[in-house]
Each structure stands twice: as structure tokens, then as C-alpha cells.
Copies of this chain bind each other. A is one copy, B any other.
Amino acid sequence: MTRRVGRPIATDRAAVARTALALFEERGYDSVSMADIAEAAGVGRRSLFRHARSKADLVWDGAGPAADEMGSRLRCAPAGVPMLVAYREAFVGAMESAAVDLVATRSRLRLIVRHAELRAAAPQHLAETAEVLCGFVEDRRPELAGTVGLQVVAEALGAASFAALRWWATAPDERGERSLREAVEEALEALAVLCGPASAS
């Protein structure tokens, strides 16, 4: 197969995704076609489709590297650190690492919040994150292995993180990285509230 147009997309996938995000912000997600993206990115349409089957794939691109980075950090967390603290540090650390482009992430989340089509793609694109979370919970709470509780705890952590990211991305003013940490801290504290004194009273 010969490629007539453009540069090798495999080495530049992140750049293509950034071009797509810029187009979505400029013209609106619904108005931009895959052909528009290929043209703006200077890649052939067939090359583009080989790597991203849909606009949703381009928006969600980045979830994989973030999950990988978080997974490495979770595996390195010292056993003595409480579970929620270990999780908070790994999650915030991954988001603030070189593996994640926070500006693009913010733009991605704002699109996801606004478009039902993109939200519907969440389970598919967060499958790796879900797996990383299940592994972490099983390491920390081996007594939950094989029970519905493993799924519940992993999903609660995932939901808390995703809510924190959405809150951070859609805050009306421009917030810096420190506020992402604050959102995550607030989200995880709220989970603790679930079984805090008031709920047990």
C-alpha cells in the first residue's frame, strides 16, 4: 500500500488528535467531518481511518496513555500508604506527568460533557482504566476478589476521578493544575463521607 499524502500518522497520532480538537473548538463538534480533520492534519483519509474510526476515537485518544501511566504509579505505591491516598497520588501524578497533555485533556472533557455521543463511548474508552482500577483494588483488598464488591470499589474510584476531571474541565474560570488536585481531593473525601459519622448515626 502506498500513501500519497502526508506524514506517517503512527508517529504523529497525538498531533492529529490535537488538530481535531482545535477544529472541534473552532467550528463545533457536529460540523467537523473526518475528511475535514484529515485535510487539516495533512494526512490521507485512509491513514486517518486506520488509526481512528470516528471523531469520538480522536476525542477519547489520551485515555489509554493516562491509564498506563496511572497503572505504573499504582504498582509502585508503597503498601503502607492508605488506599485512597495511594490512589489520589497516582491519579494526580499521572495527570500532571508528561504522559498527559492537560490542555488537550481539558478540551476533550469539555466536548465529552456536551455531547451524548461522546459520553456513550466512555465505557469503551475507559475499559483499560477500569482494568487498572480492578487490579489495584484486588492488590489492596484481596478479600474482595471474586465478589461484587471488587467491581463496586473500582467503579466508585473511577466515577470519582471522572467526576473530578469533569468538574475541573468545566469550571467557569481557567484553573491550573493545582485545582485538578483539589477537585480530586474533594471527590475522594466525598467518597469517605458515604460511611462517615453522619451516615452511621
Q: Which of B83, B151, B166 contacts A163 (CB 8 A)?
A: B151
Q: Using an 8 Å CB-CB cutoff, how does the interface string of A135-154 with B read, 1 for contact, 0 for none?
A: 00000110010011111110
Q: Which of A83, A164, A199 has the most chain B CB atoms inside 10 A of its CB?
A: A199
Docked-complex contact A148 and B120, CB < 8 angstroms: no
Q: Which of B82, B120, B144, B159 contacts A152 (CB 8 A)?
A: B159
Contact size class for A? 35 or more
**Known pairs A153-B193, A194-B195, A195-B194; A186 contacts B148 (CB<8 A):** yes
Number of copies of this protein chain within its complex: 2
Q: Which of A124, A141, A190, A196 has the most chain B CB atoms inside 10 A of its CB?
A: A190
Instruction: Offer 21 A-B interface pairs, CB within 8 angstroms, sorted by A.
Output: A82-B200, A83-B198, A84-B195, A120-B124, A122-B123, A141-B198, A148-B163, A148-B183, A148-B187, A149-B186, A149-B189, A150-B190, A151-B166, A151-B167, A152-B160, A152-B187, A153-B193, A153-B194, A156-B191, A192-B194, A195-B196
A: residues with CB less than 8 A from B are 82-84, 116, 119-124, 140-141, 144, 147-153, 155-160, 163-164, 166-167, 183, 186-196, 198-201
